[in-house]
Structure 1
Amino acid sequence: MTADQVKGKGFRGALNYNLEKVNKGVAKWLDTSFAQHYERTIMDEVKMIRVLRPNLAKYFYHTSVNFPPHENLKDEQMVTIAKDYLEAMGFNQHQYAIFRHFDADHPHMHILVNRIGYDGTVLSDSNDYQRSEQILRKLEKHYGLTEVISSRQAKERAMTKNELEMMKRTDEPSVKMKLQVTIKNILNQKPTAEQFVTHLEAQGINVLFNQASTGFVSGVSYGYDGMQFKGAHLGNAYKWQAVKNAINYEQERDRTTIYQANIRTRANQPERTGESTGATKRAIADTKVTAGNRNDVQQGAGKLQDQIGKANRNNSKAAQSVGEHGGKPILSNKKYSGERGADLSIQQSGRQQMGNSAIRGGNLIGGLLGVNNNANNMDQNALNQFERSRKKKRGQSLK
């Protein structure tokens, strides 16, 4: 037996799917905990239990239990197996519905369960796939059914549902199947380690070994068509332990062969995430600043920003000089000793405009004052006006 499990948010969709099968005559009810077989009444009962755990999103559990084609089971046997399965999984006090389907070439049944129990407890879904597989193995033995090899014992991993659907659409085998067939054919030739690697690479398959510095190999993975698979993903027959026993391998003799194969595989792998591309490296070079010598490497926006910063600092210094020294420019004796006479008249005539340019709204102040006016005059005028206004108010209050 095999079981495909689904956990989801909606009970109604799976219920309608099975009810439609029943209406079409390709399915039948086997057993249920619900009072009636109608969608509306079933969903009403489900809602009554859901209110016990309103915040639980995935409350619905659905599994399809499949039997081999030659297993001719009666309905009563299926019901017994289904109830034993539910009890072993922990669904002792839960709503459920069991349907038998006849729309495939093998007997199978669908079991729908509410994960919320009648007492409001929620059955944990931790390791449910492993638990389900163990329960199926026990049921097979108990009822004398065909025993299916577990996924741990299987030499080859079966195709997933998505892989099977893709194969139907493209009419081509999946990458996993191609790898399994190719590697199996090579292993059947009993090659040496070097031949094993050479034959794989000739088929476009790169092989990567998990090799320690001592030469010890603990694992292997296979890459094909841009996809990488660990040996365990393909099946136990493709793990290194099985491959090592199938080929002529000696650790000391073949360590160089395996090491060189790893080098070729890594060289052919796409650029890893985190490595700088050419554009990234150029961007880093454009913005890189060498400690202690910023001016030598500033470029682009960084250089422009530096120029703007210098201009702002010069304007601020000029404005500060005008305010602190009564309009007289401060000139360094060292720097301007030979140019004092030529530059003094220019700086004196332009000092007010330069000072205002560093002040927000400085153009308005310059227009009010003019180049020949002094800020002290404006302050005095304002003080005189304030005194006249105060005297006028005092005189009115005396009257």
Structure 2
Amino acid sequence: MTADQVKGKGFKGALSYNLAKVAKGVAEVLASTFSRDDNAQAILKEVNLVRMQRPNLAKYFYHTSLNFPVHEDLKNEQMKAIAGDYLTAMGFGDNQHIIFRHYDADHPHLHILVNRIGYDGSLVSDSNDYKRSEQALRQMEKQYGLTEVISSKEAKERAMTKSELEMMKRTDEPSAKLKLQVLVGEVIESKHDLNIQTFIGRLEAKGVNVMFNQASTGFVSGISYGYEGLQFKGAHLGNAYKWQAIKTGTGYEQERDRTAIHEANVRTIALRAERTAAGEDSKRTAGKRTKQANGKRTNAGHSQNGAASIPEGTGELQKQLEQRSGAQLAQIAGSGHDGNQPGLSDPKDRNSRKGYQQSAEQGRQQVGNPSLPHSDLISDLLGVNDPGSGMAPVELTQNRRWKKKKKRGLSH
């Protein structure tokens, strides 16, 4: 018989789960301390009345499932008696509880829901509850003539955890822990000429590295096993794999075997360092590949953006520059003034206009100077060699004509 214990903050979830099983006909209530055992709201109301005595206690709920072997044929009265004895042994004899029997699995099992808070406000301690539970189960197995289960202390091997079993189902392969138990177990059972040196050598030949917890004095207090990059303490594999069992089975002597143990530790440390370095190299290589891939994507993006923003060929560039130059010149012609530039249509400023044209001509010659790199291209783009210079004659507006006539009248 085994027991799974859960401590929680509330009755509601587990109670609803079990009552739903009852409603489906795959469970029934064997015993209860509540006035009604078929209504969740009524049960929770009674629980809360007792809980009011300890409002600050978070985990007041205790849920245990008792599981029996498949071949155990137990009547309801037997299971009810076993559940009652278990509650008493755990200190819940006078606490609110409800007991369900389930029929939806291949083995008989019970679910017991308990309020840790007593009717008088006392609280049942959960200290060492797993240990006390195992002791109660072993005692009841003998009392009721049930199949006796080996206790965790007596078990040579630790059972697989739920997560390990799920992983084995997904991968369809035994876990590293199970493989280690088999490999180390084979060496332990081959007791012929088994000493520390042969024990270490046979394990290393199977790909298992050993690490001893050895003090500077040579005293050894523990052992761990490494396989497929994972390290397990002897206690994680089971009692048969602990140092105390290995020490007895190999006839260990501290002074005689300290060198062999030290050398085994050195090899294990070197192997770990090698694996760590290999892992770091792998990470760096992966990082370089990622950077290279990102760089290629970035360069591709730049080339695409560049192709979209830079005109194709010098013809397009020339066209854009001519359009901008023409627009600027037209603006100058329309305004008649540009900063310190004299008005081009003012007859009184003919000398200034002449000087401006000479300066412009010199500027054109400088721009078109063959000594400058790519001068021909620049001249063609800017149009400085065009005899007409691309400038349209400035037309007088009505306002300017009026000003001109007014000036002439004043001069006369």
TM score, norm. by length of structure 1: 0.64
CA RMSD of aligned residues (A): 2.1
Secondary structure of the structure 1 residue equivalent to 2:70: coil
Structure 1 distance, partners of 2:48, 2:230, is 45
**TM-superposition CA deviations, 1:178-222 (whole Å, max 9, x none):** 211111112222344223223323433221112234434332111
Match of 1:220?
223
1:242 has 2:245 as partner: yes
1:138 has 2:148 as partner: no
Secondary structure of the structure 2 residue equivalent to 1:45: helix
Structure 1 distance, partners of 2:20, 2:175, is 32
Cα 1:23–1:203 change in 2 (3 A) is farther
**TM-superposition CA deviations, 1:317-338 (whole Å, max 9, x none):** xxxxxxxxxxxxxxxxxxxxxx
Structure 2 unaligned blocks of 5 or more: 275-279, 281-412
Match of 2:261?
258
Match of 1:27?
27
Q: 1:350-369 to 2 correspondence within 5 Å?
A: none
Structure of larger gyration radius: 2
Identity %: 68
**TM-superposition CA deviations, 1:225-266 (whole Å, max 9, x none):** 443322122111111222233346554443221111111222
1:8 has 2:11 as partner: no
Structure 1 distance, partners of 2:172, 2:11, is 34
Match of 2:42?
41
1:17 has 2:1 as partner: no
Structure 1 distance, partners of 2:40, 2:2, is 28
1:229 has 2:232 as partner: yes
Match of 1:383?
none
Task: Name which of structure 1's ranges 128-137 and 233-242 shifts more when overlaid on structure 2.
Answer: 233-242
Q: 1:149-228 to 2 correspondence within 5 Å?
A: 149-190=150-191, 191-228=194-231
Residue 153 of structure 1 deviates from its aligned partner by 0.9
Question: Would you say the 8 A contact 2:7–2:61 is kept in 1?
Answer: yes
Structure 1 distance, partners of 2:96, 2:266, is 57
Residue 108 of structure 1 deviates from its aligned partner by 1.1
Q: 1:110-121 to 2 correspondence within 5 Å?
A: 110-121=111-122
Secondary structure of the structure 1 residue equivalent to 2:223: strand
Question: Would you say the 8 A contact 2:100–2:111 is kept in 1?
Answer: yes
Structure 1 distance, partners of 2:165, 2:6, is 17
Residue 47 of structure 1 deviates from its aligned partner by 1.6
Cα 1:66–1:189 change in 2 (3 A) is same
Residue 66 of structure 1 deviates from its aligned partner by 1.0
Question: Would you say the 8 A contact 2:7–2:59 is kept in 1?
Answer: yes
